[in-house]
Structure 1
Amino acid sequence: MRTVLDLLRLLADRADGDARDGELDRVVAELAASEPEAGALTLRVRAAMDAGRRRESELAALVGIARDLASESDPGSVLQAIVRRARGLLGTDVAYLTLHDPERGDTFMRVTSGSVSHRFQSLRLPLGAGLGGLVAASRTPHWTGRYAGDGRYRHTEEIDTAVAEEGIVGICGTPLLVDDEFVGVLFAANRSARPFTAEDVALLGSLAALAAVSLVQTRRLADTATTLRELRGAHAAIAEAADAHDRFAGVVLEGGDVGDIAEALGRLLGGWVAVLDGDGATAAAHGPVPPGLDARAAARRAGERDGGGRPVPVPCAGGVWVTAVIAGGQRLGTLLLGGLGAGDALTPGQVRTVERAAMVTALVQLFAQRADEADRLDRADALTELLAASGAPRPTTLTRLAALGVSPRRPHVLLVCRCHPARRRALAREAAALGGRSGLVGERDGAVVVLLPGTDPAAAGARLARPASEQDPDGAVTVGGAGPLQPADGADAALAEARRSAEALVALDREGECASASDLGFAGLLLGERPDVAGYVRGILGPVAEHDARRGSELLRTLEAYYAAGASPTRAAAALHVHVNTVAQRLDRVASLLGPRWQDPDHGLELQLALRLHRLGTPRPEGTP
């Protein structure tokens, strides 16, 4: 117990910023020796805390970089600040920036940080040669953990000699684009074979986007320095953008989300603002957004003119402005605004304000995207762990479920969703949104498996099932359901039942529908883990039995005689010793109770099976004499 209390105290101190890693390592080792699973969970908690602290540090660093670059007015100082910050942000040995020479058609080394080789500092890179030349030619990021042996790049003696003299092993480069024009490449490099991650590339790309905006700022200052009026206007725009950036940075550092950024931008510009996610759906809004606004069309408009990686506001019809939200070359969403008045034109200061808002929104969405992806993977792992248990899961599994917001003792339903392989990821996102923080979603055996709180699997599955259409022939989603169940009792049996129900729907040519074993009629009796025979009989014969109980009629007996006589009213009348008209009248009453299609082959088969089960002594429907 003492070790556990020590561990909790140290974790609490670590969360407060008072890290004592040596003592924490000792306590974790003692706990792992006696309780291996507890030790492993502790390491996971510690890793999650470190990742969160690292994300906060990266965001704060990028916000600080943006403020520093916004305050620079000299192009040389801007470039030097860019490479210095890139080296510190990514923790690399070297950072450097090359600029494009349009007259010679190559790029040349402009500024470096951490470089020791004169040959390397004076290097020129022809377009297409080396990693930097390929970035310049393709205008897309490239990275390698070991440049010397990487056959993807066209090696030249001059470049390889300079790289070897500098001692560089791994390189990452991303293009620098300003006003739709390629102006250079920003690099980060290591003198050891340390691979670059996707997060490293995204962060370097975010810095390149910030740098591009700052270069535009300094170029505009230089261009407008010819007159005092223009210079004053540029300074006013810079001050306006800097004030806006401070406000956006404050919103983020106080824990705000894209909705808070939209509100801050709307209040600054005096109009309405809407933020769309990467799929074009509205993620946040502020002010009276026009109800007839075609947000998706506006988002496409921004995509057509995304500024080459820079968030440039683009005018649309009706005084609407759209700006692409981009980080690391990845389109994360769209920012829309309007209702500004005065011809709905943007001043230079407002343009810069919108650019800052788009950049900060991109950073927030990038980190939220990483957090959501980590949560999605954690939930998928927890679901896999639950389904892998035969019977009741282990206590550690139940603890993990509870930590994710899934109550092990509450009723849940389990859904197995089958769709085209290309649609599984989108379906998983849709199911995750449906379950929120209390559901689990994962992929298993080529299907999307969903655990949701509730008692009705058919109702839950109906929200995901959809048939194919002429416009989308591969869009069918077939859902088999099972439950209710309590996760604490295990879910393996429910998984098998839901899978069989989905397979039965496909076999019965009912793709695009949702059903549980109880919804599949007699087929459900064969599929169900615990077949509800009495419920099946009640569901088929209930209205007829209730009528017999109320009126003292013999409709059930007449149905039995009718089917026993090969569906002949005449022979049924003889067997019952009544007139054939009496049989006809009784069958008309059956039709009024069961519907006009009661004699269809499929329905007739269900009725005969229910009558046979009823005759064999299953618990009778309520009211049966």
Structure 2
Amino acid sequence: MDAHDDSAMTLLRLLAEGAPASELGGVRDPGGEARELALRVRAAFDSRRRREAELTALVETARDLAALRDPSGILEAIVRRARTLIGTDVAYLTLYDPEAGDTFMRATDGSVSVEFQTVRLSLGDGLGGLVASTHKPYWSADYLNDHRFQHTGTIDSAVGDEGLVSICGTPLTVEDEFVGVLFAANRSPRPFSPDQVALLGSLAALAAVSIVQTRSADEVRRHTAGVERAAAAHDRFAELVLAGGGVDDITKALGDLLGGWVVLLGSEGECLSTHGDAPSTDDARAGSLTDSAVVRMTQASGRLAHDPAGDRWAIGVKAPQTPLGVLVLGGVGVLDDADRRTVERASVVSALVLLFERTAAEAEQRVRTDLVTDLVSGRGDPQALASRARGEGVDPSVPHAVLVADADDTVPRRTLLLAAHAAAGPDSVVGEHDGRVVALVPSDDAHQSAGELARRLGRLGRVSVGAAGPVSLADDVPATWAEAVRTVQALESLGLGGTGASSAHLGFAGLVVGSAPDVDGYVTDHLGPLLDYDAKRGSELVKTLQAYFDAGGSPRHAATQLHVHVNTVSQRLERIAALLGPHWQQPDPALELQLALRLRRLSAGASPATSPPRRR
């Protein structure tokens, strides 16, 4: 065996023993070919072992990542493993922010600079921005002096503060989804080999899959938790309804579940319920919520609406083709899908409760309307009517003012009816008759009651209220009703629409402008005590009053006209004052009396002593 063969056998033995390349290089080989071939084999063995080690490390990395459930723990494990496998000074990872359109630093290992740990990279800026925009790996042995990249002051300052020189970045992608960028970097000018770049790319692929899977699992968990939370909220709302709860219970439950304040507005903008630190009821009625942007948004879209400027949410409360109101929330911040479903469920349950309440109110209102119709039309047995009135909480023996409310065409009749029922008070009875809203209100002052009801109903629009009475429900309610109708008509004719007044307050003005004036009733209202006195005693008080006015208020001239002594006239005038009240000679009462005397004379068609039919 010659020297060449000896050298070859030595090299083979060293290869078999796993000798390093340095030892192989020291073997004497006359031709050099055997040594060169042995070094190539050694390099192949080393590369294969390194590749096997890298694959083993990747498998272990995949196993470790699969065992982690915390997203932040996964990111920290990725950069830690990258730094170890590549053998660099620093490893870090940026994630893509689709809303901002850039990437932000999310995890680092080996970093010491706070400025570097908080940097953001716009797409295309710097090495990382170029990787993010192209989804391709890039590396540089001397980044700050590498003009292939678009340098910015912010990025260069952060890189310089960390002391990085050589940087390699590779994209985190899953199919077409870009997740972020994984980096390995050194604080010295050390170039990256293709094997290192490939290893970092393989680690990035594993990392991207783990991040997406963890995000998906986290989203599933959040979704499941949200569904469970929304279902629990629905069950709570259902329990409230089954237990007989109302809208106050629903708004409270919604406020407790989401925090913040809750207001439920009715179909006309009225405040039905409120919970928490909400705008006051007066503010809601004044329109601060009714006219707010978020309420208009939900009314236009028919869906849950959000006004970021006012930090308010709103959703319509409605039955099919029937708007019932709006649910408004404030101070709750951002609502996730589960919270939004909770609000939607609260809207549905509120609609059910309002429908129940409306159905019950309409049934109760029909009973009241039937009672009002029978009272103002005089139908039915008086005792039976009195019994029905007591059943509605009304004392038939107490004097009542009869109020008639009319509104312009912008106010629906049903809305006016419900509002009048709410405004009239618990001891009143409100209904409809002959197409008009009627309220029988316990009161000794019909004029004051009319003005108060008109004021309360004024928020709906232009509402006029005419009143007559007071009258006992056992007395002549139909005639009083007719007088109230004439009064509300007179208000419109006199340009006083939107106000309230009684027939007594309008006096002869109501008689003149009202349709179908009740002349006999007017005469009886003003001369009734005198007519009754004359009829019972055969006296001539009415005749004396006429002569007194005809004589210009002179008792002596009236006595001459009546052919009696002046003392007789004086005594009769004293009796008239006792029957009509001490103020009968004041200008307004005197004018009313003179008009009544004139109407009596005209309606009688005979002598002034002829009496018109009495109203009972």
Q: Which has the higher contact order (CA 8 A, sep 6+)?
A: 1
Larger Rg: 2
Shorter-chain TM-score bucket reads 0.3 to 0.5
